[in-house]
Copies of this chain bind each other. A is one copy, B any other.
């Protein structure tokens, strides 16, 4: 062997070029199933925080059984960054051979792949658990995830003719998200009044860093699926605990994470016996998912290492075989 190892080293621009939404969604779907079947080895999440600059860093890593690489994902959020001209999200994904430990790839995605796999996760959950006739989507929040959740959901369900409403505390930001979605050909409008927007939505996706419920449980109608993607730390919460407690079905990506630092931490601490089903169990068909058009289903997605592995592998494979 040579002294210097040859590593696939890709920058964000190239990664975006190699990215294929449908392929990534298929692989992330498979990854949820593998995770719920126990076929994913996931290390403890490493967490560093820098409260003085509202910053934190998460390190997720794992290996899907039989896969030839393991992936370590570093993702940071430094929420004062925009004031100095930097994006708040950053990070990279690293792949290593599961046969030798040799580094294979460095994907310097600056957090882009994490943003995408999070949005794809939300879209997969929405499409698996929404009513068959769902067309009205409410996105709560106006950040990167608000836009990406709408884009991925729209693009993964081309035949649904979805209509999006965006609600945020800052109407100017909501307007700006709507403008961006419209530029991509997505039907979108600003939700002026949150209660009435909640009342008409079939799919509600919350994408905020909130630490308290964003709305009252009674505003969510029968038949709705509510997907919370914001809570990723102890004390974070977007949904009313009673909405979770009274839901007909509670779904999450990984129970351990969801009750530890996700949206279900509050509901489980009040009632440890509530039933929670993993998304992969529904995607595999082992659990039937939605039973009827009246059920309210609540989903918590904390983001799992298996998603990172899956999306990283699609990029690495595309780099190896551009004709994929």
**What is A's interface to B at a CB cutoff of 8 Å?**
1, 3-5, 7, 11-13, 41, 43-50, 53, 55, 57, 59, 61-63, 70, 72, 74, 76-78, 81, 84-86, 90-92, 94, 96, 98-103, 106, 108, 110
Contacts and interface: CB of A to CB of B under 8 A. Distances in A.
A283 B63 CA distance: 40
B100 A86 contact: yes
16 contacts: A41-B49, A43-B46, A43-B59, A46-B46, A46-B72, A48-B62, A50-B70, A50-B98, A57-B61, A57-B96, A72-B74, A74-B96, A76-B101, A77-B101, A86-B102, A90-B101
Given A4-B11, A44-B46, A103 B96 contact: no
Contacts of A76: 96, 101
A67 to B, nearest CB: 11
Given A57-B70, A74-B94, A78-B101, A1 B48 contact: no
Contacts of A74: 72, 94, 96
A261 to B, nearest CB: 12
A108 B13 CA distance: 22
A53 B70 CA distance: 14
Given A46-B43, A62-B48, A3 B13 contact: yes
Given A46-B46, A74-B72, A55 B1 contact: no
A100 B84 contact: yes
A74 B57 CA distance: 15
Nearest to A101: B76
A197 B151 CA distance: 70
A81 B98 CA distance: 12
A44 B47 contact: yes
B62 A108 contact: no
B85 A100 contact: no
Contact of A61 (B48, B55, B81, B110): B48
Contact of A81 (B49, B70, B86, B101): B101
Contacts of A1: 85-86
Contacts of A92: 94, 103
A98 B106 CA distance: 21
B48 A70 contact: yes
